[in-house]
């Protein structure tokens, strides 16, 4: 529409010049040039070069309701934002304005979403800029960009008729790392100094109240000056969601998707220990893609379960190992699975010999719940499960392969944790002061004990392990229930060890 009006106007001007006997050619050229710049976005580029970075003011639509879980983070953030909402009342009491909030936590946990929701909650203009945008090779550019960002926040808020503006700086550690650590590179220090200056300059009686929200997953890297009172003095931790949080996030991300009646989101939430919000969003999306590939109108539970494997381990690979290698992988994974079921019945979610990401095959466990403390019984059980792949290779194939290396590394770490917690024959020790030979000896003792137990279990179930491995070879994937049907077909097969460890069940093991 704008374009039509402009063309009409230009035509009128040209006609007028012509009637007045003036040469319309230079004006014609000018109009042509401006039109070209407009069409190719050239004007925008020119404006951006001057402005420095791409952050722009926007009306935020994300609300706290659109963020699943994160109850503590949301509560802390809302409490902090009440100051901004109180506005003049807070100023009348002489409360200094809240200038900065630092959101710290692992990637994909919703820090950007929280910052956007904070802007909506305080009816603020929202500007976002990643920390990396301030870092340029040229001295002074970063500092100039920081200045321009604050300036534009004020302008954008004024234009939108708002009192508040939220500036969101993602990956603040890039720009706010400890000063002096980049030797010979004063640019980082200047940029950080400028940010501190701008934040110090925020006052109650400013026309626009600016709140800077920064996000990082490397809080330890930040310059202490940033965390000083009056700057980023509110620290809100954004953790990986717990089971309830995962369920809420899954509900949010499946709200627009047709789910088959067999889909149990609580079960999927239980199986996705360690997943971030971003992982869960991707999981819901991947499940829908799998359903689409199969021409289904609804997403079924199995699509979600396959998507869990894909999100945690990567895309299926075309690479297919040799038959004898596949047989080894099958024996190895069945070893893990059989021992896992003996330690904690119902714990196996799936096992497969399909290559995904770095893994040739894997066995996935279902955690019973999110636990934060592990008992010795639990840790020993996990060690037995970790070493069961190796035990199965040795018992059934007569030797072990390099495939056990990953399991061994995890097992050694678990053993070290046990030694540090005083759970070894050494008793209570200080890990850093423990001579290396003693540490290695204690690790070996623990691993040998648990491996012996794994070997005993595999020997006892030799025939069964072979049968399940053959089934796995032909079907490539067995889910937990299919595996348990096999195990139960062997009467009383695992009865003796069923009672162990049920109370201490916890966590997930990626093998
Ligand atoms: P990074 O540290 O990598 O920048 P982040 O913590 O800022 O990540 P976001 O960008 O907020 O994470 O989240 C990425 C995506 O993951 C979101 O767009 C959303 O789809 C999903 N997501 C993450 N956390 C949640 C949550 N708590 N509720 C709903 N969706 C979430």
353-to-36, 82, 89, 312, 321 alpha-carbon distances in Å = 58, 54, 64, 15, 10
Ligand 1 centroid to 9 CA: how many Å? Answer: 48
Select from 61, 171, 278, 288 the residue to mutate for testing ligand 1; criterion: most ligand atoms less than 8 Å from CB. Answer: 278
Among protein residues, the one with the nearest Cα to ligand 1's atom 1 is 107
The Å distance, Cα 468 to ligand 1 centre, comes to 40
**How many domains, the chain?**
4
- Ligand 1 site, residue 107, Cβ cutoff 6 A: yes
Whether 510 maps to a domain, the answer reads: no
- How far does residue 273's CA lie from ligand 1's centre (Å)? 16
DSSP string, 368-434: SS--S---HHHHHHHHHHHHHHHHHIIIIISS--GGGHHHHHHHHHHHHHHHHTT-STT-S--GGGS
Task: Specify if 232 maps to a domain.
Answer: yes
* Residue among 333, 341, 453, 504 flagged as catalytic: 333
Verify whether ligand 1 is closer than 6 Å to residue 282 (CB atom).
no
Q: Is 318 part of any domain?
A: no
CATH number reported for the structural domain that contains residue 118 in this entry = 3.40.50.300
pLDDT number for residue 61: 81
* Ligand 1 atom nearest to 68, measured from its CA: 28
The pick from 74, 101, 110 for probing ligand 1's pocket by mutation, whose C-beta has the most ligand atoms within 8 angstroms, reads 110
Same domain for 483 and 339?
yes
32 lies in some domain: yes
From residue 279, give the alpha-carbon distance in Å to each of 148, 226, 244, 259, 362: 35, 30, 15, 19, 19
Can you tell me which atom of ligand 1 is nearest the CA of 103? 6
Inside any domain, residue 52 = no
Q: State the number of CA atoms in the 13 A half-sphere of 128 facing the CB.
A: 16
Task: Give dist(CA 16, CA 438) in Å, integer.
Answer: 97
Q: Which atom of ligand 1 is nearest to the CA of 238?
A: 6
CA of 230 to the centre of ligand 1 (A): 27
Query: Does 481 lie in the same domain as 366?
Result: yes
68 lines ligand 1 (CB under 6 A): yes
258 & 231 share domain: no
Evaluate: CB of 215 within 6 angstroms of ligand 1.
Answer: yes
Does residue 183 sit in the same domain as residue 276?
no
Residues 163 and 264 in one domain: no
Q: What is the CATH number of the domain that holds 371?
A: 1.20.58.760
Judge if 290 and 413 occupy the same domain. Answer: no
CB 364 within 8 A of CB 317: no
Ligand 1 contacts CB of residue 111 (under 6 A): yes
Q: pLDDT at position 74, please?
A: 93
**Cα of 210 to ligand 1 centre, how many Å?**
23
Q: Are residues 233 and 249 in the same domain?
A: no
pLDDT digits (tens), the chain, 511 positions: 555 666 677 677 777 777 777 777 776 777 767 666 555 444 444 444 434 444 444 555 889 999 999 999 999 899 888 877 877 777 788 877 788 999 999 999 999 999 999 999 998 999 998 888 777 655 677 788 888 899 999 999 988 888 889 999 998 888 766 665 555 455 567 788 888 888 888 776 667 888 999 999 988 888 888 888 888 888 999 999 998 999 999 999 999 999 999 999 998 998 888 899 999 999 999 999 999 999 999 999 999 988 998 888 887 777 778 889 999 999 999 999 999 999 888 889 889 998 887 788 889 887 666 667 889 999 999 999 999 999 999 999 999 999 899 899 999 999 999 999 999 989 999 988 999 999 999 999 999 999 999 999 999 999 999 999 999 999 988 988 899 998 888 745 444 333 333 322 333 333 3
- What is the distance in A from the centroid of ligand 1 to the CA of 280? 9
pLDDT score recorded for residue 502: 30
113 CB less than 6 Å from ligand 1? yes
Instruction: Report yes or no on 490 lying in a domain.
Output: yes
CATH code: domain of residue 253: 1.10.8.60
Name the closest-CA residue to atom 19, ligand 1: 278
Q: Strand order in 348-352's β-sheet?
A: 362-365, 348-352, 477-479
Q: Is 252 in the pocket of ligand 1 (CB under 6 A)?
A: yes
Query: Atom 22 (ligand 1): residue with closest C-alpha?
Result: 277
Q: For ligand 1, atom 16, which residue shows the shortest CA distance?
A: 278
Residue 378 domain-assigned (yes or no):
yes
Predicted pLDDT at 503? 29
Binding site membership of 67 for ligand 1 (Cβ less than 6 Å) = yes
Domain end point (choices 259, 285, 313): 313
Q: Does 209 fall in a domain?
A: yes
Q: Are 195 and 146 in contact (CB under 8 A)?
A: yes
Q: What is the pTM of this model?
A: 0.73
Which of 237, 254, 275 is the last residue before a domain boundary? 237
CA of 419 to the centre of ligand 1 (A): 37
Check whether residue 18 and residue 109 sit in a common domain.
no
What pLDDT is stored for residue 340 in this prediction? 95
Q: Say how many Å lie between the CA of residue 173 and the centre of ligand 1.
A: 18
Structural domain ending residue among the three candidates 210, 237, 264: 237
Same domain flag for 176 and 216? yes
Q: Are residues 232 and 267 in the same domain?
A: no
Pair (70, 186) in one structural domain: yes
How far is residue 138's CA from residue 9's CA, in Å, rounded to a whole number?
43
**Where in the sequence is the domain holding 21, given as residue range(s)?**
2-40
- Judge if 303 and 327 occupy the same domain: no
Residue 490 annotated to the active site: no
């Amino acid at each position: 529409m704008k374009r039509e009006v402009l063309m009409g106007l230009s035509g009128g001007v040209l006609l007028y010049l012509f009637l007045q006997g003036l040469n319309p050619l230079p004006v014609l050229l000018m109009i042509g040039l401006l039109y070209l710049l407009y069409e190719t976005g050239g004007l925008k580029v020119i404006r951006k070069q001057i402005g420095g970075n791409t952050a722009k003011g926007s009306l935020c639509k994300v609300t706290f309701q659109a963020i699943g879980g994160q109850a503590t983070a949301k509560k802390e953030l809302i409490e902090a934002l009440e100051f901004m909402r109180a506005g003049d009342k807070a100023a009348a009491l002489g409360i200094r304005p809240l200038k900065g909030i630092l959101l710290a936590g692992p990637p994909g946990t919703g820090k950007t979403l929280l910052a956007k929701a904070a802007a909506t909650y305080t009816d603020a203009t929202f500007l976002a800029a990643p920390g990396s945008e301030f870092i340029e090779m040229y001295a002074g550019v970063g500092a100039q960009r920081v200045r321009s960002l604050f300036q534009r926040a004020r302008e954008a808020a004024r234009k939108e008729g708002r009192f508040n503006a939220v500036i969101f700086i993602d990956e603040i550690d890039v720009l706010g790392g400890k000063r002096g650590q980049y030797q010979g590179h004063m640019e980082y220090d200047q940029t950080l100094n400028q940010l501190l200056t701008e934040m110090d300059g925020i006052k109650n009686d400013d026309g626009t109240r600016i709140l800077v929200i920064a996000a990082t997953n490397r809080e330890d890297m930040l310059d202490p000056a940033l965390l000083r009172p009056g700057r980023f003095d509110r620290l809100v931790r954004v953790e990986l969601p717990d089971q309830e949080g995962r369920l809420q996030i899954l509900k949010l991300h499946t709200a627009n998707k047709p789910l088959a009646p067999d889909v149990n989101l609580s079960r999927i939430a239980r199986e996705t220990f360690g997943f971030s919000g971003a992982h869960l969003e991707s999981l819901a999306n991947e499940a829908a893609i799998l359903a689409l590939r199969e021409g289904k109108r609804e997403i079924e539970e199995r699509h979600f379960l396959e998507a869990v494997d894909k999100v945690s381990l990567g895309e299926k690979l075309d690479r297919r190992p040799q038959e004898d290698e596949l047989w080894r992988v099958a024996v190895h994974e069945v070893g893990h699975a059989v021992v896992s079921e003996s330690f904690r019945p119902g714990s196996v979610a799936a096992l497969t010999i399909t290559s995904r990401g770095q893994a040739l095959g894997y066995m996935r466990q279902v955690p019973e719940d999110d636990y934060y403390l592990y008992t010795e019984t639990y840790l020993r059980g996990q060690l037995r499960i970790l070493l069961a792949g190796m035990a199965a290779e040795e018992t059934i194939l007569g030797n072990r392969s390099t495939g056990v290396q990953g399991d061994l590394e995890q097992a050694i770490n678990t053993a070290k944790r046990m030694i540090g917690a005083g759970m070894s024959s050494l008793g209570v020790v200080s890990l850093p002061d423990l001579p290396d030979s003693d540490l290695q000896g204690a690790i070996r003792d623990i691993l040998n004990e648990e491996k012996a137990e794994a070997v005993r279990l595999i020997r006892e179930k030799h025939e069964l392990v072979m049968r399940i491995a053959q089934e796995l070879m032909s079907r490539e994937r067995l889910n937990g229930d299919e595996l348990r049907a096999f195990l139960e077909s062997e009467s009383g097969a695992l009865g003796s060890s069923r009672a162990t460890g049920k109370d201490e069940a916890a966590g997930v093991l990626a093998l």
